[in-house]
């Protein structure tokens, strides 16, 4: 179909000039999800950069995250206990998601849907624990977005804004997973294939990865 | 070895056919309808901004004459004018309008890859416009913080619209960004993954390249604006201190402490500078196609043009702080940002040279689109040169916040893209409606607009040099201001009003020609690009014949090819089978 004259038939040039598709064999939905995630990365990067900036500009001392986020277990305060559990759950959910993708491509739609539901449940429990964490901070520690007894008001404002925005992403992901799992279960993708499971997975892993950065920058710093 | 030909996935798809008036004209998934919806909404809201600028000019030209313009109203005019023009008109029209219309047609696709989301994109954009215009109906009116919305003043007592206007403005921006993201994902993905066979990246018309890179910039730059809008909303509504330092206002100490106003400036300009190129790059691309088509000559240095667009896009992300030279930044930062800023002049100059060289000894047809295209090159050089002044720290500091800056950015990102938009509308209107726009009205519109902008903006450079500050409601008896300023301001105002009123000729032309215009046929400009090769004009939903997308055999610029009968060869025409092409071109 395409002509083959001059430099145009060199393999390298053809690849770079990309006939029809730049990413060969990649469904458009997957490409679109990657691009969306790139854009979303910039949102979280701006949030985290803003957090670091106000942490530097504020004149008041920054509360010690190890103490603020400690939980009492067997009478001993354990720093970051709840956060450790939450992180573990979220990373586990990435594992079940990866298994769901595998099952999808093997066209075993029962296990694929089941694993997606498990992933969604793990995500929902993450959001639940986050709600618990927020409640504890607000009622027990007196942290508010505009101030807190331990020091810099930016501690509360960045915490609620960033974890809140991430929590919204997780919640949206739970809904997204549930919808796709339902459709997989019903056999809606039998004809077009199970790329959608991987696309959903991309989003889920992204949300997971963002949490790792929030964890590192907010709780460990 | 040639790679085996791929089959575009849209070849055999069924487009979602409308069943009723509502799904055909209002909730349509056809990219062409969505494009026209974007276009009409953007032009409509742009007319509001045009009226606002006329009101500002009335005040500046004839201070103390108009009772209904008080300082508060004036600042509200400025803010709304700037924000509407930059975001709700230019961004929406160039990407939402032309992006939507041209990408599938020029790439040989049936529609965007995700038409449903594309449809939602327009309606969310429409919502953002409604929220923005609602500013005029809330208590206190719209915000008067200036389009840059710098805190702390944007959310403190004393700034107009501090109670409600700022909320509707920030909310509207956030909604707009959601809309843009939905549309932008479609544009980028369609260009990457849904071109027809033979339409390699290096055969795409430059319009598509410009829109493509601009959309990528938008997807990466708007997040910064989104984040700053959210944080300022939180500062305003629940009293967080992201951007607010400890501050007392109107003799009262406020509850804020420890925030960073500079953080806002960085976030805002990390969006704001790429935004300049989000507007400029589609204009660059479109004007390249207009010049090539109407000069009947291939674009000079196509590959250079592509790489210049890419280079400008990359560089635009590392120059933002040149908007902040007077914010007290470290001189080394200024040095860095001045350097990167001036480097942008290199790819930009390549583009200007290539436009000029395309015109060199070409068979120039002075059609209305061509007039606008040539006018663009002139105004763009003008605005670009003053950019070199302002990019240097040492020259920028005294010129900062004077009318020189106003003249610069209006020339470079106001007048220039608008001229391209006019040219593009005159050029593609026949494809959108099947009718030609009236030529006489077009000429009147062109000459008044083009000469008028010079009378408006040329003297502003002088005003800036003598030190007239921008954003002032009235200059009063300021000792530094020369007496010549008053008359110049009056001249500018008169010119601005005339140019503003003459836009009615354009609007009238759009309406009149739709009903009474001359039939255009499929390809009135004898252009090579795919959108002129559709089986129907205006193209139907799905664009091409059923189950058969066009095949592209050549680049988009085969004009006046020696040995060809016509002076143009459409992209769909196969290369001649036997032709002794020199193999050394590798």
Tell me the per-residue pLDDT of B394-434, one tens digit each, with 9 for 90 and over: 999 999 999 999 999 999 999 999 999 999 999 999 999 99
Nearest to B1 among A9, A17, A50 (CB): A9
CATH code given to domain A29-220? 1.20.120.80
The verdict on a CB contact (< 8 Å) between B7 and A32 is no
The verdict on a CB contact (< 8 Å) between A58 and B258 is yes
The verdict on a CB contact (< 8 Å) between B197 and A152 is no
| Max CA separation in chain B (angstroms) | 86
N residues, chain B: 586
Ramachandran region of residue B396, left (φ > 0), alpha (ψ -120 to 50) or beta? alpha
The verdict on a CB contact (< 8 Å) between B185 and A19 is no
What's the rounded Cα separation, in Å, for the pair B449 and B495?
A: 10
**Residue-level pLDDT at B320:** 95
Residue numbers in A near B221 (CB within 8 A): 42
| Beta-carbon pairs below 8 A across chains A and B | 176
Residue numbers in B near A40 (CB within 8 A): 223
Give the three-state DSSP class for A144: strand
Nearest to A161 among B6, B184, B234 (CB): B234
Output the CA torsion B2→B4→B9→B11 (10° steps): 90
User: Which residues have CB under 8 Å from B435's CB, separation 6+?
Assistant: B429, B513, B514, B517, B518, B519, B520
**Residue-level pLDDT at A10:** 44
Handedness of CA B104, B109, B115, B117 (dihedral sign): negative
Contact B120, B309 (CB under 8 A): no
Q: What is the pLDDT of residues A20-74, one digit of tens each?
A: 889 888 999 999 999 999 999 999 999 999 999 999 999 999 999 888 888 888 8
What's the rounded Cα separation, in Å, for the pair A140 and A34?
A: 41
Q: Which residues pair with B142 in a beta bridge?
A: B165
The verdict on a CB contact (< 8 Å) between A57 and B259 is yes
> What secondary structure does DSSP assign to A186-211, as a single string?
HTTTTTT-SHHHHHHHHHHHHHHHHH
Give the three-state DSSP class for B526: coil
CA B383 vs. chain centroid, Å, equals: 15
Residue numbers in B near A193 (CB within 8 A): none
User: Which residues have CB under 8 Å from A201's CB, separation 6+?
Assistant: A97, A98, A100, A101
**Residue-level pLDDT at A177:** 97
Report yes or no on B15 lying in a domain: no
Kind and range of the H or E run holding A115:
helix A109-135
Which of A8, A12, A39, A60 would you mutate first to test chain B, the one with the most B CBs within 10 A?
A39
Contact B347, B319 (CB under 8 A): no
Start-to-end Cα distance in chain A: 59
Q: What is the pLDDT of residues B209-223, one digit of tens each?
A: 999 999 999 999 999
The verdict on a CB contact (< 8 Å) between A32 and B226 is no
What range defines the domain where residue B416 resides?
Answer: 31-243+259-575
Contact B135, B79 (CB under 8 A): no
Which parts of B466-519 fold into alpha helices (H)?
484-516
How many CB atoms are closer than 10 A to CB B170?
25
Q: Which residue of B has its CA nearest to A27?
A: B193
Give the residue from B353, B458, B449, B364 showing the smallest Cα distance to B410: B458
DSSP classification of residue B320: G
**Residue-level pLDDT at B12:** 78
Give the residue from B575, B563, B573, B568 showing the smallest Cα distance to B528: B568
Tokens of B151: 């805190």
**Residue-level pLDDT at B547:** 85
DSSP classification of residue B402: B
Residue numbers in A near B575 (CB within 8 A): 3, 5
How close is the nearest chain B Cα to the Cα of A9, in Å?
5
What's the rounded Cα separation, in Å, for the pair B130 and B132?
A: 5
Please report, rounded to a whole number, the percentage of residues in chain B having pLDDT higher than 90. 86
Which of B5, B186, B259 would you mutate first to test chain A, the one with the most A CBs within 10 A?
B259
> What secondary structure does DSSP assign to B358-373, as a single string?
HHTT------HHHHHH
Range list of β-strands (E), chain A:
71-73, 76-78
Q: How many domains does chain B have?
A: 1
CA A11 vs. chain centroid, Å, equals: 38
Q: Which residues pair with B568 in a beta bridge?
A: B559
Q: Which residue of A has its CA nearest to B583?
A: A6
DSSP classification of residue B521: -
Q: What is the pLDDT of residues A172-213, one digit of tens each?
A: 999 999 999 999 999 999 998 999 999 999 999 999 999 999
Residue numbers in B near A158 (CB within 8 A): 242
The verdict on a CB contact (< 8 Å) between A28 and B193 is yes
Residue numbers in A near B551 (CB within 8 A): 1
The verdict on a CB contact (< 8 Å) between B197 and A60 is no
Read off the pLDDT band of A8 (50, 70, 90): very low
Contact B233, B171 (CB under 8 A): yes
**Residue-level pLDDT at A1:** 41
**Residue-level pLDDT at B22:** 82
Start-to-end Cα distance in chain B: 14
How close is the nearest chain B Cα to the Cα of A138, in Å?
15
Q: How far is CA B73 from CA B159, B200, B293, B509, in A?
A: 11, 52, 45, 33
**Residue-level pLDDT at B2:** 46
Residue numbers in B near A36 (CB within 8 A): 181, 185
Contact B334, B393 (CB under 8 A): yes
- ipTM, interface predicted TM-score of the complex: 0.93
Handedness of CA B421, B424, B430, B433 (dihedral sign): negative
**Residue-level pLDDT at A110:** 95
Nearest to B2 among A2, A22, A161 (CB): A2
Output the CA torsion B156→B158→B164→B168 (10° steps): -70
Residue numbers in B near A48 (CB within 8 A): none
Within 13 Å of residue B491, how many CA atoms lie on the same side as its CB?
Answer: 15
Nearest to A39 among B189, B220, B255 (CB): B220
Q: Which residue of A has its CA nearest to B202?
A: A17
Nearest to B185 among A32, A47, A154 (CB): A32
Helix axes A109-135, A195-214, angle to 10 degrees: 20
Q: Which one has a higher pLDDT value, A15 or A206?
A: A206
What's the rounded Cα separation, in Å, for the pair B88 and B133?
A: 11
Domain harbouring B209, CATH code: 1.20.210.10
Residue numbers in A near B189 (CB within 8 A): 28, 31-32, 35
The verdict on a CB contact (< 8 Å) between B242 and A54 is yes
The verdict on a CB contact (< 8 Å) between A22 and B192 is yes
User: Which residues have CB under 8 Å from A128's CB, separation 6+?
Assistant: none
Q: Which residues pair with B192 in a beta bridge?
A: none
Contact A59, B258 (CB under 8 A): yes
With vertex at residue B549, the alpha carbon angle to CA B545 and CA B551, rounded to the nearest 5 degrees, is 130
Tokens of B148: 């840059």
Phi, psi at residue B447, to the nearest 5°? Answer: -65, -40
The verdict on a CB contact (< 8 Å) between B575 and A5 is yes
Report yes or no on B580 lying in a domain: no
Nearest to B227 among A14, A21, A46 (CB): A46
How close is the nearest chain B Cα to the Cα of A5, in Å?
8
Residue numbers in B near A28 (CB within 8 A): 9, 113-114, 189-190, 193-194
What's the rounded Cα separation, in Å, for the pair B160 and B250?
A: 15
Tokens of B175: 């909604």
| Low pLDDT (below 50) residues in chain B | 1-3, 585-586
What's the rounded Cα separation, in Å, for the pair B198 and B532?
A: 17
DSSP classification of residue B86: I
Q: Tell the residue number behind the tokens 């691309």, with chain if given.
A: B285
CA B94 vs. chain centroid, Å, equals: 5
> What secondary structure does DSSP assign to A119-135, as a single string?
HHHHHHHHHHHHHHHHH
């Amino acid at each position: 179909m395409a002509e083959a004259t001059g430099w145009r038939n060199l393999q390298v040039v053809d690849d770079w000039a990309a006939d029809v598709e730049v990413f060969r064999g990649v469904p458009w939905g997957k490409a679109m999800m990657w691009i969306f995630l790139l854009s979303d990365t910039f949102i979280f990067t701006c949030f985290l950069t803003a957090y670091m900036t106000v942490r530097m500009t504020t004149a008041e001392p920054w509360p010690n995250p190890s103490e603020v986020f400690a939980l009492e277990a067997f009478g001993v305060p354990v720093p970051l206990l709840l956060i450790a559990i939450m992180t573990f759950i979220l990373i586990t959910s990435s594992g079940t998601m990866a298994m769901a993708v595998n099952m999808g491509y093997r066209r075993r739609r029962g296990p694929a849907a089941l694993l997606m539901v498990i992933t969604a449940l793990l995500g929902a429990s993450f959001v639940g624990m986050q709600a618990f964490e927020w409640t504890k901070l607000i009622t027990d520690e007196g942290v508010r977005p505009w101030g807190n007894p331990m020091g810099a008001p930016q501690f509360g404002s960045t915490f609620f804004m960033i974890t809140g925005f991430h929590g919204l992403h997780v919640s949206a992901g739970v809904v997204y997973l549930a919808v796709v799992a339902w459709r997989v279960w019903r056999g809606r993708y039998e004809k077009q294939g199970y790329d959608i499971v991987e696309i959903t997975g991309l989003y889920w892993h992204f949300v997971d990865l963002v949490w790792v950065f929030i964890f590192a920058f907010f709780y460990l710093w | 070895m040639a790679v085996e030909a791929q089959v575009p996935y849209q070849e055999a798809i069924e487009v979602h056919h409308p069943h009723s008036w509502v799904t055909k004209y209002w909730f349509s998934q056809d990219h062409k309808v969505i494009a026209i919806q974007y276009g009409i909404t953007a032009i409509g809201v742009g007319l509001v901004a045009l009226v606002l600028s006329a009101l500002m000019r009335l005040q500046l030209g004839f201070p103390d004459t108009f009772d209904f313009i008080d300082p508060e109203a004036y600042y509200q005019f400025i803010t709304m004018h700037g924000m509407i023009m930059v975001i709700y008109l230019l961004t929406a029209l160039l990407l939402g309008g032309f992006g939507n219309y041209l990408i599938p047609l020029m790439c040989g696709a049936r529609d965007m890859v995700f038409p449903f989301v594309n449809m939602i994109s327009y309606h969310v954009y429409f919502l953002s416009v409604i929220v923005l215009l609602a500013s005029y109906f809330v208590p206190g009116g719209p915000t008067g913080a200036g389009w840059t919305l710098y805190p702390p003043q944007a959310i403190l007592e004393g700034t107009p619209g501090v109670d409600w206007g700022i909320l509707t403005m920030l909310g509207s921006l956030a909604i707009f960004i959601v809309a843009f993201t939905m549309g932008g994902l479609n544009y980028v993905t369609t260009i990457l993954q849904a071109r027809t066979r033979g339409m390699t990246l290096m055969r795409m018309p430059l319009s598509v390249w410009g829109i493509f890179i601009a959309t990528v910039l938008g997807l990466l730059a708007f997040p910064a604006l989104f984040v700053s809008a959210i944080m300022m909303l939180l500062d305003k509504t629940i009293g967080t201190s992201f951007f607010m330092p400890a501050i007392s206002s109107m003799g009262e100490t406020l509850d804020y402490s420890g925030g960073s106003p500079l953080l806002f400036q960085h976030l805002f300009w990390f969006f704001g500078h790429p935004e300049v190129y989000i507007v400029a790059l589609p204009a660059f691309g479109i004007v390249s196609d207009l010049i090539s088509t109407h000069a009947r000559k291939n674009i000079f240095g196509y590959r250079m043009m592509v790489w210049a667009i890419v280079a400008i896009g990359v560089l635009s992300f590392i120059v933002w702080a040149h908007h902040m030279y007077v914010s007290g930044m470290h001189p080394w930062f200024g040095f860095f940002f001045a350097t990167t800023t001036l480097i942008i002049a290199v790819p930009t100059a390549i583009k200007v040279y290539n436009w000029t060289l395309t015109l060199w000894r070409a068979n120039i047809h002075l059609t209305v689109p061509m007039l606008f295209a040539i006018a663009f090159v002139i105004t763009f050089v003008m605005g670009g040169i003053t950019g070199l002044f302002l990019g240097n720290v040492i020259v920028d500091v005294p010129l900062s916040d004077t009318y020189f800056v106003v003249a610069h950015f209006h020339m470079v990102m106001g007048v220039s893209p608008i001229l391209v938009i006019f040219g593009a509308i005159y050029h593609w209107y026949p494809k959108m409606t099947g009718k030609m726009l009236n030529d006489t009205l077009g000429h009147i519109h062109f000459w008044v607009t083009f000469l008028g902008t010079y009378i408006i903006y040329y003297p502003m450079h002088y005003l800036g040099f003598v030190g007239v500050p921008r954003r002032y409601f009235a200059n009063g008896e300021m000792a530094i201001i020369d007496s010549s300023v008053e008359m110049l301001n009056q001249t500018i105002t008169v010119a601005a009003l005339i140019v503003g009123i003459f836009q009615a000729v354009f609007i009238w032309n759009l309406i009149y020609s739709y009903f009474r215009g001359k039939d255009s046929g499929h390809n009135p400009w004898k252009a090579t690009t795919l959108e002129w090769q559709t089986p129907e004009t205006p193209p139907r939903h799905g664009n091409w014949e059923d189950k058969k997308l066009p095949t592209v055999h050549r680049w988009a610029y085969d004009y006046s090819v020696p040995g060809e009968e016509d002076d143009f060869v459409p992209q769909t025409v196969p290369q001649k089978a036997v032709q002794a092409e020199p193999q050394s071109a590798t």
